[in-house]
């Protein structure tokens, strides 16, 4: 079975994403964000766009969205999806990492199995300010109107928070749901 690629966008938690999937016995491989799209298309069954410092350092990530593979964006990965599909990202009113209570606003494949509210660990230095056309908002919080969004027709999903850290309630579930989506 082909692995899920974790795309390294120079963020401090990308190695934790890789380790989390490995510990969950999900076949995984980390690749740099400069990997040619053709190699990504032929080498994996799904893509996780990890976090990082800025959209300017996102390499080829926007091109990976057009490969027809499932994509899960985490933090900066969410911002890459939003901007590449015509949305907007801007500074959040609450920067830095911390705990946030997120409310599930709409049922979705990526958040299946979560209760109505979950406690997550997130950075809101930047956040989605305008959702791209055709995308739905799946989760919100008091400090951020787009904590999660997706477009199942393209199998593109993103979360503002970090499911790979222990501070996030049941973060494994996002990865299990994504693994299932990658098998469809």
| C-beta atoms surrounding 159 within 10 Å | 27
Residues 6+ apart with CB under 8 A from 25: none
Q: From the candidates 18, 79, 124, 162, give the one annotated as an active-site residue.
A: 162
Identify the DSSP state of 132: P
Asked whether the beta carbons of 50 and 14 are under 8 A apart, the reply is yes
Residue 19 pairs in a beta bridge with none
Asked whether the beta carbons of 89 and 128 are under 8 A apart, the reply is yes
Element (H, E) at 77: helix 76-84
CA of 177: how far to CAs of 53, 93, 182, in Å?
26, 30, 9
Q: From the candidates 127, 164, 169, 179, give the one annotated as an active-site residue.
A: 164
162 is an active site residue: yes
75 is an active site residue: yes
User: Which position has the token pair 């809101």?
Assistant: 124
167 is an active site residue: no
Asked whether the beta carbons of 99 and 65 are under 8 A apart, the reply is no
Q: From the candidates 18, 44, 61, 75, give the one annotated as an active-site residue.
A: 75
The structure tokens listed for 70 are 């499932």
Catalytically annotated residues: 75, 162, 164
């Amino acid at each position: 079975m082909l692995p899920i690629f974790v795309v390294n966008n120079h963020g401090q938690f990308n190695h934790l994403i890789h380790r989390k999937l490995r510990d969950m016995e999900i076949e995984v491989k980390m690749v740099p964000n400069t990997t040619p799209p053709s190699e990504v298309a032929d080498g994996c069954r799904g893509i996780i766009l990890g976090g990082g410092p800025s959209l300017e350092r996102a390499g080829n990530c926007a091109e990976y969205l057009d490969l027809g593979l499932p994509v899960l964006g985490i933090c900066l990965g969410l911002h890459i999806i939003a901007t590449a599909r015509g949305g907007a990202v801007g500074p959040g009113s609450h920067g830095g990492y911390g705990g946030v209570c997120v409310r599930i606003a709409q049922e979705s494949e990526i958040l299946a199995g979560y209760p109505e509210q979950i406690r997550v660990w997130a950075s809101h230095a930047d956040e989605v300010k305008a959702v791209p056309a055709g995308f739905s908002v799946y989760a919100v919080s008091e400090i951020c109107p787009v904590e999660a969004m997706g477009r199942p027709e393209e199998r593109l999903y993103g979360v503002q928070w970090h499911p790979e850290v222990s501070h996030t309630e049941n973060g494994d579930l996002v990865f299990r749901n994504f693994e299932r989506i990658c098998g469809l």
